[in-house]
Structure 1
Amino acid sequence: MTTAPAALAPAARAVDAAARAAAPLTLAEVNQRAELLARFDRSYLVPADTFLRMIGRLTDPRHPAGPFRALDIDGRRTFRYHSVYYDTAGLRSFHDHRQGRRLRFKIRERVYEDSGERQFEIKLKGRRGDTVKHRQPLAGRDTPQGARCWLFLADTLHRAYGIDPPAVLHPSLTTDYLRATFVADGARITCDAGLVCTDLRTECAVRCDAGLVLVETKTAGHLTEADRILHAHGIRPAVFTKYCGALAVLRPSLPANRWRRAARCAFGGEVRVAPAG
């Protein structure tokens, strides 16, 4: 059962309205036009009203290059995502990203809550500084800590980096949010609202500002029109990832200065204890 738009917070309401107003696009068309498993990502923390102006321009049917269209699956335009990030006990993935190491990776299980589909995903850094995603479906009792996923991880890291995988991985952080996806040829924009991140060690959580949309532009090349529109509104890319930004707030003792400014903007620095169950 979906939440009625009037009951949503401002950012979620803006994402829902923008997706409903755009022309639809099927998942097969998304993969055909802009699958972008190797891409450059830029993240922005965008006030809901600015987001609506940006996406309104891009989805306008009169757009000279053709409008961006919204992913539609069985009449649904917004989708609930749940991800579990895995790391070593010493947070190797977090610290490799903090130090800017080229041979770095993130590991997660992604659950598409509306369909129940599960994916094991490995995000690597390519030679050009781009993000390269590898994934395989999870079925039945498969888990990222199981033998099948470990072999996939080992093969991926050997092929890409020539390194061995961590011997042991632990669930570190979960993220939950509402997403709409807008697509044009060779370009994709994901728009997330209502982000909640929970530290699985402490069971504390942070919630993103209800008026901010986390916009990520994804392209194989240079700046997109969406980037240029946001820059014209005075909004610059944020040094922010869900995993590292959340840990910067949830574990203030970590050396995470590069993410703290954007994380404070996103989360306000407020940490709450997650309710039991």
Structure 2
Amino acid sequence: MTTIAQAPPAAAAVRAIGEAAHGTGAISLAEVNERAELLARFDRSYLVPVDIYLRMVERLTDPRRPGGPFRALAIDGRRTFRYHSVYYDTPGLRSFHDHRQGRRLRFKIRERVYQDSGERQFEIKLKGRRGDTVKHRAPLTGEDTPLDGHFRTFLADTLHHAYGIDSPATLHPSLSTDYLRATLVADGERITCDAGLVCEDLRAGRTVRCDTGLVLVETKTAGHLTEADLLLHSYGVRPAVFTKYCGAFAALRPALPANRWRRAARRAFDAGS
């Protein structure tokens, strides 16, 4: 079983997402799934300094906002949530290299653990024909692992149906991530706000930590630029070529050909490693 890394003591970004989540109204998980589940969506990633993040949130959660303010996901009174993910890849890191080469038929495979509730999900993330992200999920229970036969069949069926390709013959745990997340929601759009990111290379045993003054923001929508995107652009923050999986490997394994993520990875991890 993978050891879950411990997050560093509360830092600026951790405090900021907590303040943001508790500074607006609450929305239940059932209502999020009804109004903005977005299993097929466009994601845009940003590395946002805390001061700019708080300015953006102040605008989005303003009660005078047309259509009403963004609200924070709340479950059992909690508004920030601990996430642990384990990514699976081939011995040659096929998933990493397919993303590096921009292949359309690419995928990521992971186990996601919602640490506060204990819920576990096996997730397969694919690229749709429009370049959108399409997520397929199956619950994990008890001693289940993504390498069990039932889940290997689920993976094979998903890849065959979506892409017409075979599932990898061999998969191993490759990377783990741990972080704290707050989620802000309005009709048809979601913003995830992550802080305290810790990534561990499960083969080499090396770890990197994100800069404690950065919030990792992802906007998620069915298509067009969101209000959050436009606000961040107006503050001079542009989308980052960054994913937790590929960005972490760019930082953890300098010998990998990871130039497309190197700049963002240096910004995300160098000060915090």
Give the match for residue 258 of structure 1.
Answer: 260
Give the match for residue 106 of structure 1.
Answer: 108
Give the match for residue 5 of structure 2.
Answer: none
2:246 to 244, 247, 251: 244
Give the match for residue 3 of structure 1.
Answer: none
Letter in 1 for 2:180: L
SS of equivalent to 1:268:
helix
Looking at structure 1, the residues matched to 150 and 36 of structure 2 have their Cα atoms a distance apart, in angstroms, of: 29
Q: Bigger shift: 261-270 or 127-136?
A: 261-270
Looking at structure 2, the residues matched to 32 and 62 of structure 1 have their Cα atoms a distance apart, in angstroms, of: 24
Looking at structure 2, the residues matched to 89 and 270 of structure 1 have their Cα atoms a distance apart, in angstroms, of: 28
Looking at structure 2, the residues matched to 51 and 63 of structure 1 have their Cα atoms a distance apart, in angstroms, of: 17
SS of equivalent to 1:42:
strand
Q: Please list every run of 5 or more consecutive structure 2 residues that lacks an aligned counterpart in the other structure.
A: 1-8
Letter in 2 for 1:29: E
Contact 1:181–1:190 (CA under 8 A) maintained in structure 2:
yes
Contact 1:105–1:122 (CA under 8 A) maintained in structure 2:
yes
Q: Please list every run of 5 or more consecutive structure 1 residues that lacks an aligned counterpart in the other structure.
A: 1-6, 272-277
Letter in 2 for 1:44: Y
Deviation string 1:104-133 (CA, Å, 9 cap, x unpaired) is 000000000000000000000000000000
Give the match for residue 183 of structure 2.
Answer: 181
Residue 270 of structure 1: how far off its partner (Å): 6.7
Letter in 1 for 2:136: H
Give the match for residue 128 of structure 1.
Answer: 130
Letter in 2 for 1:48: V
Residue 62 of structure 1: how far off its partner (Å): 1.3
Contact 2:156–2:166 (CA under 8 A) maintained in structure 1:
yes
Looking at structure 1, the residues matched to 181 and 162 of structure 2 have their Cα atoms a distance apart, in angstroms, of: 30
Letter in 1 for 2:264: A
Give the match for residue 90 of structure 1.
Answer: 92
SS of equivalent to 1:75:
coil
Looking at structure 2, the residues matched to 68 and 121 of structure 1 have their Cα atoms a distance apart, in angstroms, of: 27
Contact 2:211–2:272 (CA under 8 A) maintained in structure 1:
no
Which aligned pairs between 1:200-219 and structure 2 lie closer than 5 A?
200-219=202-221
Give the match for residue 168 of structure 2.
Answer: 166
1:12 to 1, 4, 14: 14
Contact 2:211–2:271 (CA under 8 A) maintained in structure 1:
no
Deviation string 1:209-249 (CA, Å, 9 cap, x unpaired) is 00000000000011000000000000000000000000001
Alignment root-mean-square deviation, CA: 0.9
Residue 65 of structure 1: how far off its partner (Å): 2.1
Percent identity at matched positions?
77
Residue 269 of structure 1: how far off its partner (Å): 7.1
Letter in 2 for 1:146: D
1:49 to 51, 67, 80: 51
In structure 2, the CA distance between the partners of 1:138 and 1:53, relative to structure 1 (3 Å rule), is same
Letter in 1 for 2:198: V
Looking at structure 2, the residues matched to 227 and 182 of structure 1 have their Cα atoms a distance apart, in angstroms, of: 14
Looking at structure 2, the residues matched to 227 and 97 of structure 1 have their Cα atoms a distance apart, in angstroms, of: 23
Give the match for residue 3 of structure 2.
Answer: none
Contact 1:249–1:269 (CA under 8 A) maintained in structure 2:
no
Letter in 2 for 1:192: D
Looking at structure 2, the residues matched to 60 and 209 of structure 1 have their Cα atoms a distance apart, in angstroms, of: 28
Residue 64 of structure 1: how far off its partner (Å): 1.4
Looking at structure 2, the residues matched to 270 and 36 of structure 1 have their Cα atoms a distance apart, in angstroms, of: 32
Give the match for residue 150 of structure 2.
Answer: 148
2:141 to 129, 139, 142: 139
Structure 1 length normalisation: TM-score?
0.94
